[in-house]
A and B are shown apart, each in its own frame.
Chain A
Amino acid sequence: MSDDLTTPAAPTTPPADKPVSQPKAPAVKRSRLRKWTRRAFIGAGAVTGGGLALGVGGIVFSPNRLKYVPEGTEGEGHLTTWIKITPDNRTTVLIPHCEMGQGALTGLGMLLVEELDADWSLCTVEQAPAEDIYANGYVIHAFLGEVGIGVPGFMERAFDFGSFKMAQFAGLQITGGSTSTRGTGVFGMRLAGATARGMLLEAGAEQLGVPMSELTARDSRIIHEASGQSATYGELVGRASALDLPSRPRLKEREEYRLVGTSQDRADIPGKVVGEAQYGMDVVRPDMLYAAIVRAPVPGGQLEHVDPAPAEAMAGVRRVVQLDDAVAVVADGYWQAQQALNALGPKFTDAGLGDVDTAGIRARHAAALDGEPLGEPPAEGRAVTAEYCVPYLSHATMEPMCATARLADGQLEVWAGTQDPLSTRGVAAGVVNLDKDDVHIYNQQLGGGFGRRLPGTYDYVEQAVEVAKVTAPRPVKLVWSREEDMRHGYYRPFVMGRFQGVVDDQGHARRWASRFTGGMADALEADPPYGIEDKDIQAVTAPVHLRTGSWRSVAASQHGFFSESFIDEMAHAAGSDPFEFRRGLLEEEPRHKAVLERAAEMARWGTAVPEGRARGIAIVESFGSIVAHVAEVGIENGTIRVYRVDSAVDCGLVVNPQQAETQIQGGVNFGLSAALFHEITVRGGAVENRNFPDFNMVRLAQAPRVNVSFVDSGGPVGGLGEPGVPPVAPAVANALFVLTGQRLRDMPLRLG
């Protein structure tokens, strides 16, 4: 490894003549944080064996350790952060995000390669390992740019979790909140690509002996068109790596894009169709043992007593491990471990919550709202009131929680799929009181995330490490049964909302008032985009019984359902067409209006539908993107059937159209599962649901046709993983009202 790698590592406050790029804050609606307090800093240098390495660090908290070399890569002269170009003219891009199937690696790589003007076919995109140097401060700013001040709800979990301090806040390596493309991509990857391109242009000018202004970069080549000379990036990296960084790397304008905006295949897919992709579940280590576990079914419950004898008598069983709140069986195979666990009759306490059930939870939420009445509506106009409610929801990733851990020689190794390898390391270190430097996380592909593998939710890692203390030095793979996974989630919160709207005699909306259980952190999602002068929106604290967390689209999922159902109620009360009513209230929101109109146009809103069907419309902004769905709904044999969904999306910039489309399509099915089926219920303080039969999913037979169209607003880059979810349930519910006259205000939607 060459020491040269640390060449001009700019400090967090670089001198004026040194490279500083300060990306502009995105002009997101409602943003109050226009000035960015950070400085991006860039380091570049040579790698052993020749080549250019270039990294961009973020913001004030970011570690200034560009000399860092990942373990085991010393001989390769690995890049420090994000980009490496080698003499064979190949480019490697390291992405500090996890691939959960949302195409983040490909999309982010495209943003960098676009600015680099490299040949995409010569580029390799890899996921960065869990090391501090990859910590992604840009994730945080993708959020702060949107909400302005305070800590967004999604990030609150990081604060809630004990091991995090404010100063470590930006040290997360998170994939969540649809931030990958918004944060890292726009502010990090593009900057890295543009900087490297600038250096290659300068090197090209030296090598070809022509002015830099006469050169162009294209397809991994610096070209001097006047003379016909050119040099590949690979031929120039040696020279480029000795250069100072360009003072102002120029980012392309969108109309200059050649790669971004074209559909590119994802690199992870071939491995996923032949069974080679390795998920956390698939980890195999030498001498590995397997563990199954059952935890106290009531949150907060403790293990009171267990007789290990029945399990220990069974073939292949190594050990019964008693934890404070759980019992695990270690065996030579997972099935043997689970069978032996089933033979045990552990007694757990119920933490005094044994009388809690779903009806009681609902009553408590209602009582909390009773304490904050909506008040009397104004005398003039027609008042509409309604109460909505959504249940707890499980993420139910296809891959149940699992982690493999090995404790030996004062070192802890963990193999697991998480949405934030860095904070996973902190959690694991805490269990065994080791320094974080002695803990190594090998992140695996995620068999679904959706928020279940975010910071603050690594109980499965903690348990695996606890069991590894017993099996040390042998590694152990802890696998949750589906039943355990269903029962110990970090659920989408149970939320109740009460609404009051007023429509005047001319059919105009005059007032919008709501009270909902939850926190004011959700106020942004609870505030619909409609231009109604008199808005009164307040959160009310309600007791939380189960563990809650971020569920794909987070607060937008419940508030989208509430707001878009209730505005529909107001439209009908006003005697207006629901599409026209909304459109009339979006005069100040041209992006929303354009999206709403596109969806209506796609669905041929206002034209006849096949007999027995009806259309419903809904529009929700979340994670910087605006999505409107029109659902065409019918009833077959008493069952709700959604035939098609026309979806219009304004996500600012579409990086990889085929991936953008499939994220929205997936979001529709995810949202539809919640709308039609999902309800986590509680009895005796414990979650009742056990497996897919009682937490059902949309399958091919229920999956609607989904047509997606992108509205090119030129707006800031928005997310795509989540924004397809929130408008689904209200669009379906609104269609059902037209079809049946029943206004369904509880999820899942059930016909009376």
Chain B
Amino acid sequence: MPPIELPVANLTIVSCVRRNVGVACGGSASFHETRNLGEAGDMIDFTLNGSSVSLDVPADMPLLWALRETAGLTGTKFGCGIGACGACTVHLDGAAVRSCSTPVGNVAGRTVTTIEGLASGGALHPVQQAWIDHQVPQCGYCQSGMIMAISALLERRPGTTDDQLAASITNICRCGTYERIRGAVASLTVAADAEEETGDV
């Protein structure tokens, strides 16, 4: 599928583009260069926020710590370490995964997108923009994971209903911003519905 650049204004979830072709993403400035710190064969190679990276880390290290401490991308958060809270959610080949429970060796040759790489071409991802418009975050610590989980869901299912959202998203927000999350998601799915009806997509 060729990349299709859609205007942000119509609120189509654009990350489907990124998933398949790995276009350069705007937010990953802190890690562009390939690191070469160890023996060949020890390195884990993958695409991170649109750039090829090669990390010298043990294959069984959770992706979370490779991202935070080796790649220097601290937007992905540590919350529980056992995949229970979702604060560490990233996209692996476009699907939401909990990076604290994903060995970095499993992502070799694959495409990882973190919160830093979600924005594209200088424009925030529609979910990020909706999070600002609806003033969703409070402490904000869980919101990287929340945004990654919900952006993956909306990409798969643009017309997600409230019930589907509740059934699909199990991330914890201790501040309790769920009402705002629902409102922000509803604003996106309404836009998606409208597009379907008018045949814009």
CB-nearest residue of chain A relative to B72?
Answer: A284
| Chain A, 240-262, CB within 8 A of any chain B CB | none
A706 partner, pick from B87, B136, B179, beta carbons under 8 A: B179
Residues of B within 8 A of A699 (CB): 166, 169-172, 178
- If A270-B132, A448-B139 touch, whether A275 touches B170 (CB-CB below 8 Å) is no
A335 to B62, CA, bound (A): 8
| Chain B, 84-117, CB within 8 A of any chain A CB | 84-85, 87, 114-116
Asked whether A138 is an interface residue with its Cβ less than 8 Å from the other chain, the reply is no
Stretch at the interface among B9-17, B142-150, B187-195: B142-150
- If A269-B132, A335-B65, A398-B139 touch, whether A274 touches B175 (CB-CB below 8 Å) is no
Most chain-A CB neighbours within 10 Å: which of B27, B137, B143, B171? B137
Residues of B within 8 A of A399 (CB): 77, 79, 139, 141
CB-nearest residue of chain A relative to B118?
Answer: A274
Residues of B within 8 A of A666 (CB): 138, 175-177
A273 to B138, CA, bound (A): 11
Residues of B within 8 A of A268 (CB): 137, 140
Chain A nearest Cβ from B65, distance in angstroms: 4
Asked whether A209 is an interface residue with its Cβ less than 8 Å from the other chain, the reply is no
A101 partner, pick from B77, B131, B137, B172, beta carbons under 8 A: B137
Residues of A within 8 A of B144 (CB): 275
CB-nearest residue of chain B relative to A275?
Answer: B75
Residues of B within 8 A of A445 (CB): 139-140
Whether B140 and A277, one on each chain, are in contact in the complex, defined by CB atoms closer than 8 angstroms, is yes
Residues of B within 8 A of A668 (CB): 176
B138 partner, pick from A102, A278, A338, beta carbons under 8 A: A102
- If A273-B137, A701-B167 touch, whether A482 touches B79 (CB-CB below 8 Å) is yes
Residues of A within 8 A of B115 (CB): 273-275
Whether A446 and B62, one on each chain, are in contact in the complex, defined by CB atoms closer than 8 angstroms, is no
Chain A nearest Cβ from B74, distance in angstroms: 4
Number of chain A interface residues as a range: 35 or more
CB-nearest residue of chain B relative to A288?
Answer: B69
Total inter-chain residue pairs, C-beta < 8 Å: 186
- If A445-B140, A699-B171 touch, whether A670 touches B176 (CB-CB below 8 Å) is yes
- If A266-B135, A398-B172, A701-B166 touch, whether A482 touches B82 (CB-CB below 8 Å) is yes
- If A272-B140, A273-B132, A691-B84 touch, whether A700 touches B69 (CB-CB below 8 Å) is no
Whether A703 and B135, one on each chain, are in contact in the complex, defined by CB atoms closer than 8 angstroms, is no
A700 to B144, CA, bound (A): 16
Whether B176 and A703, one on each chain, are in contact in the complex, defined by CB atoms closer than 8 angstroms, is yes
CB-nearest residue of chain A relative to B137?
Answer: A272
Residues of A within 8 A of B79 (CB): 398-400, 482
Asked whether B46 is an interface residue with its Cβ less than 8 Å from the other chain, the reply is no
Chain B nearest Cβ from A728, distance in angstroms: 10
A271 to B119, CA, bound (A): 13
B side interface size, CB within 8 A:
59
Whether A482 and B81, one on each chain, are in contact in the complex, defined by CB atoms closer than 8 angstroms, is yes
Residues of B within 8 A of A333 (CB): 61, 65, 69-70
Whether B84 and A397, one on each chain, are in contact in the complex, defined by CB atoms closer than 8 angstroms, is no
A705 to B74, CA, bound (A): 33
Asked whether A460 is an interface residue with its Cβ less than 8 Å from the other chain, the reply is no
| Chain B, 29-75, CB within 8 A of any chain A CB | 58, 61-62, 65, 68-70, 72-75
Residues of A within 8 A of B178 (CB): 665, 669, 698-700, 703
A315 to B82, CA, bound (A): 23
A268 to B131, CA, bound (A): 12
Whether A101 and B140, one on each chain, are in contact in the complex, defined by CB atoms closer than 8 angstroms, is yes
A265 to B132, CA, bound (A): 8
Chain B nearest Cβ from A461, distance in angstroms: 18
| Chain A, 201-233, CB within 8 A of any chain B CB | none
A705 to B182, CA, bound (A): 9
Asked whether A693 is an interface residue with its Cβ less than 8 Å from the other chain, the reply is yes
Residues of B within 8 A of A697 (CB): 85, 172, 174
Residues of A within 8 A of B177 (CB): 662, 665-666
Chain A nearest Cβ from B117, distance in angstroms: 9
| Chain A, 479-497, CB within 8 A of any chain B CB | 479, 481-482
A447 partner, pick from B114, B136, B141, B170, beta carbons under 8 A: B141
A281 to B115, CA, bound (A): 16
Most chain-A CB neighbours within 10 Å: which of B78, B138, B142? B138
Asked whether B80 is an interface residue with its Cβ less than 8 Å from the other chain, the reply is yes
Residues of A within 8 A of B175 (CB): 101, 398, 448, 666, 670
Chain A nearest Cβ from B89, distance in angstroms: 12
A108 to B143, CA, bound (A): 24
Chain B nearest Cβ from A664, distance in angstroms: 10
Asked whether B180 is an interface residue with its Cβ less than 8 Å from the other chain, the reply is yes
Chain A nearest Cβ from B178, distance in angstroms: 4
A103 to B73, CA, bound (A): 26
| Chain A, 98-118, CB within 8 A of any chain B CB | 100-103
CB-nearest residue of chain B relative to A661?
Answer: B179
Asked whether A290 is an interface residue with its Cβ less than 8 Å from the other chain, the reply is yes
Whether A281 and B137, one on each chain, are in contact in the complex, defined by CB atoms closer than 8 angstroms, is no
Contact with B along A608-635 (1 / 0, CB 8 A): 0000000000000000000000000000
A706 to B178, CA, bound (A): 10
Asked whether A22 is an interface residue with its Cβ less than 8 Å from the other chain, the reply is no
Chain A nearest Cβ from B126, distance in angstroms: 11
Chain B nearest Cβ from A301, distance in angstroms: 23
- If A397-B174, A705-B179 touch, whether A700 touches B166 (CB-CB below 8 Å) is yes
Most chain-B CB neighbours within 10 Å: which of A265, A270, A447, A481? A447
Asked whether A50 is an interface residue with its Cβ less than 8 Å from the other chain, the reply is no
Residues of B within 8 A of A388 (CB): none
Contact with A along B144-186 (1 / 0, CB 8 A): 1001000000000000000001110111111111111110000
Chain A nearest Cβ from B145, distance in angstroms: 9
Whether A274 and B80, one on each chain, are in contact in the complex, defined by CB atoms closer than 8 angstroms, is no
Asked whether A36 is an interface residue with its Cβ less than 8 Å from the other chain, the reply is no
A272 to B68, CA, bound (A): 16
A698 to B166, CA, bound (A): 11
Chain B nearest Cβ from A719, distance in angstroms: 15
Whether B139 and A447, one on each chain, are in contact in the complex, defined by CB atoms closer than 8 angstroms, is yes
- If A101-B140, A269-B140 touch, whether A692 touches B172 (CB-CB below 8 Å) is yes
- If A315-B58, A447-B77 touch, whether A273 touches B128 (CB-CB below 8 Å) is yes
A697 to B142, CA, bound (A): 13
- If A273-B124, A398-B87 touch, whether A100 touches B74 (CB-CB below 8 Å) is no
Most chain-B CB neighbours within 10 Å: which of A101, A273, A703? A273
Whether B84 and A400, one on each chain, are in contact in the complex, defined by CB atoms closer than 8 angstroms, is no
Residues of A within 8 A of B27 (CB): 274-275
CB-nearest residue of chain B relative to A645?
Answer: B179
A277 to B74, CA, bound (A): 9
CB-nearest residue of chain A relative to B138?
Answer: A101
Residues of B within 8 A of A670 (CB): 174-176
Whether B74 and A275, one on each chain, are in contact in the complex, defined by CB atoms closer than 8 angstroms, is yes
Asked whether A658 is an interface residue with its Cβ less than 8 Å from the other chain, the reply is yes
A698 to B87, CA, bound (A): 15
Chain A nearest Cβ from B102, distance in angstroms: 13
Whether A446 and B170, one on each chain, are in contact in the complex, defined by CB atoms closer than 8 angstroms, is no
A335 to B131, CA, bound (A): 31
Asked whether A396 is an interface residue with its Cβ less than 8 Å from the other chain, the reply is yes
Most chain-B CB neighbours within 10 Å: which of A275, A667, A706? A275
Chain B nearest Cβ from A441, distance in angstroms: 19
| Subset of 7 A-B contacts with CB under 8 Å | A101-B139, A275-B76, A691-B80, A691-B82, A698-B176, A699-B169, A699-B172
**Given A272-B137, A699-B171, 4 other A-B contacts at CB below 8 A?**
A277-B140, A693-B84, A700-B171, A705-B179
- A-B pairs, 5 with minimum CB distance: A275-B75, A669-B176, A101-B138, A447-B141, A272-B140
Q: Hey, which bits of chain A sit against chain B, CB under 8 A? A: 100-103, 265-266, 268-279, 281-282, 284, 290, 315, 333-335, 338, 396-400, 445-450, 479, 481-482, 658-659, 662-663, 665-670, 673, 691-693, 697-701, 703, 705-706
Q: Hey, which bits of chain B sit against chain A, CB under 8 A? A: 27, 58, 61-62, 65, 68-70, 72-82, 84-85, 87, 114-116, 118-119, 124, 128, 131-132, 135-144, 147, 165-167, 169-182
